Chain A
Amino acid sequence: MSHIHIPDGVLPLWLWVAGWIAAIVVVTVAGRIASRSEARRKVPLIGVVAALMIVAMSSEIVPLAYHVNLSVIGGILLAPALSAITAFIVVLVLAMLGHGGVTVLGLNAIVIGAEMVIGWALFHAVLRALGRSRAAIGAGVATVFTLAITTTLVVGIVWLGGAGEAAERETGALDPATMRFENPFAEGVFEFGLFGGKDHGPDDYEDGDEAGRYLSAGRFAAVVYTLGPAGWLIEALVTAGIIGYVARVRPKMVFEGPLAEEHHRIPGDESGGH
């Protein structure tokens, strides 16, 4: 669960505004940290990693409604400050391609940014335990745990988004009465209602009653925790394969970062190392 595939206008106003504010603060701080040294050199680097992630996230495995993210790889290679900027850019571009929603952009940036940073931290923790020769395994393990954590984060966001009366009063989102509309041709002949056509309102439900919520966080959690592990496994295998390959071909790129001096291309190798 790399980012929230929740359309615009589903989550309550306070939640997505808070997401935007948090994302702006994080990106501003990350931008300042990144600008302290070699800022100009980092611009194309962020651009290519963001492009890689966009390519991955835009290629859906249709029967599964799943796409790989490469976010942990991006995190491993870019480290936290550049990861936060890259996450913001990725979700912004995806949102303009209609993928991900504009209002949830802040929350998505936080989720993907967290995925990249947690992936980076776990990968290095696993490397310290297993050694550099097990980079592929470390990347795979880090990916599984990272995706499990961020999936829980997304479930938490959905739970907050559909958390009953407080959310409904704040936003009016999916106020059952508002959602109800009737066919004017005949009374009761053709009637849609959110909860069986009855005129329910927030006051009709007890606190904590799932039926009083407009999103079922419990069912959402059940679905993502059932389907999610298959996606985590696919992502972990892809990440392990790629990191293993890069660790063999360009080890310092994985262990020291792409801006390490020795990664400058060989003079005359215009094709880029192939």
Chain B
Amino acid sequence: MHIGRIDESATLADSWLHRVSPVSKLLAFALVLGAAVSTWNALVVGSLALALVAIAVSARLRWRLLLTLAGYPAVFALVFAFSAATSVLGGVTIVLKAVTAALAAVIVVLTTPYPYVFAPIQRIVPTIVGDALLMTYRSLFLLLEKFGNLITASRLRAGLTTGHPVRSARATTRALGGLLIYSFDLSQRSYDIMRMRGYEGRLHVTLPRSTDRRVDVALVTGALALLGVSLTWRLGYQALNPYSWVLPIVPVLAIIATLLTKEKAA
């Protein structure tokens, strides 16, 4: 679980993508997702993934974290592709789609603090759902820290050892049970604190504005262009598919140019 590192990247790092308004990023994400959904050409999907890598490189995101997060769904997609796809190419496309969609989502969460990602959603879902959504992230940090402490305590008491898997499993289950009880006490405590602070059944999140609207427009336009390319290839596949190999060249050049620029700047 990399929640801490995701949050650190979203709140403490600074890049052109961090300064784009959350609404523009979510809109761009939806467009890129639409592009990935609408095509079944492996080279088009691969090009979309490379374009997202180019964006991540230009925003200087932590590539290891990015690849780990994007690679996680790829493992499950691989299992699904192996079990359900009717050809190798179909399987490859399924995995590429998973990686592309995950890259797009992860770029958003690595550059946008969690409350801002979910604030637009909070406004359209029932109040209790929206507020619980915002409470979930806070609870995640507290539970992860508590679970880490419980595991450390078990290990120090020799409850977790590689030579005794049954004993280790029991200790881990007890730790999870303890975590569960702690989590309910935590929810009660959170409720008390929220009431003291005047919670009346609605958490309000004010979305930050963009520092430069031209960058917002450029990002959304770029995402729209990706969707346009995907749809064009989808509709004109008979004429365009033989030229699909052209597509990956553009993002690859963009990645090289970004890396060279970064090196020059350094």
Which A residues are closer than 8 A to B by beta carbons?
5-10, 27-28, 31-32, 34-35, 39-52, 54-55, 58-60, 62, 65, 70, 73, 77, 85-86, 88-89, 92-93, 95-103, 158, 162, 172-175, 177-184, 192-195, 210-211, 213-217, 219-220, 222-224, 237-238, 241-242, 245-246, 249-250, 253, 258, 263-265, 269-270, 272-274
Contact = CB atoms under 8 A, between A and B. Distances in A.
B246 to A, nearest CB: 9
B215 interface: no
B102 A99 contact: yes
B84 A9 contact: no
Given A44-B132, A51-B136, A98-B72, 15 more contacts: A31-B125, A43-B128, A46-B128, A48-B143, A77-B180, A85-B128, A162-B84, A177-B237, A178-B41, A184-B242, A184-B243, A194-B89, A216-B83, A242-B177, A274-B181
Interface string B40-81: 111100000000000000000000000001101101111110
Contact of A50 (B106, B132, B195): B132
A2 to B, nearest CB: 11
Given A44-B135, A97-B106, A52 B97 contact: no
Contacts of B177: 241-242, 245-246, 249
Nearest to A249: B181
A231 to B, nearest CB: 12
Interface in B118-176: 118, 121, 125-129, 131-140, 142-144, 147, 169-170, 173-174, 176
Contacts of B142: 51
A125 B142 CA distance: 34
Contacts of B140: 51, 54-55
A46 B194 CA distance: 15
A96 B108 contact: yes
B185 interface: yes
Interface residues of B, number: 96
Contacts of A40: 191, 194-195, 199-201
Nearest to B90: A194
Interface string B13-41: 00000000000000000000100111111
Interface in B212-266: 234, 237-238, 241-245
29 contacts: A7-B98, A8-B33, A9-B97, A27-B125, A31-B126, A39-B127, A48-B139, A49-B183, A51-B137, A51-B143, A51-B183, A52-B183, A55-B140, A89-B133, A96-B108, A96-B117, A97-B105, A98-B73, A98-B102, A99-B72, A178-B40, A184-B243, A194-B90, A215-B85, A215-B86, A220-B84, A241-B177, A263-B184, A272-B185
A230 to B, nearest CB: 13
B93 interface: yes
A177 B95 CA distance: 20
A223 B83 contact: yes
B121 A31 contact: no
**The 9 nearest A-B residue pairs measured at CB:** A47-B135, A98-B102, A31-B126, A241-B173, A245-B177, A5-B76, A7-B98, A9-B37, A223-B83
Contacts of B4: none
A174 B40 contact: yes
Given A5-B73, A60-B75, A242-B177, A43 B135 contact: yes
B37 to A, nearest CB: 4
Interface of B: 1, 6, 33, 36-43, 69-70, 72-73, 75-80, 82-87, 89-90, 93-95, 97-98, 101-103, 105-106, 108-109, 117-118, 121, 125-129, 131-140, 142-144, 147, 169-170, 173-174, 176-191, 194-195, 199-201, 234, 237-238, 241-245
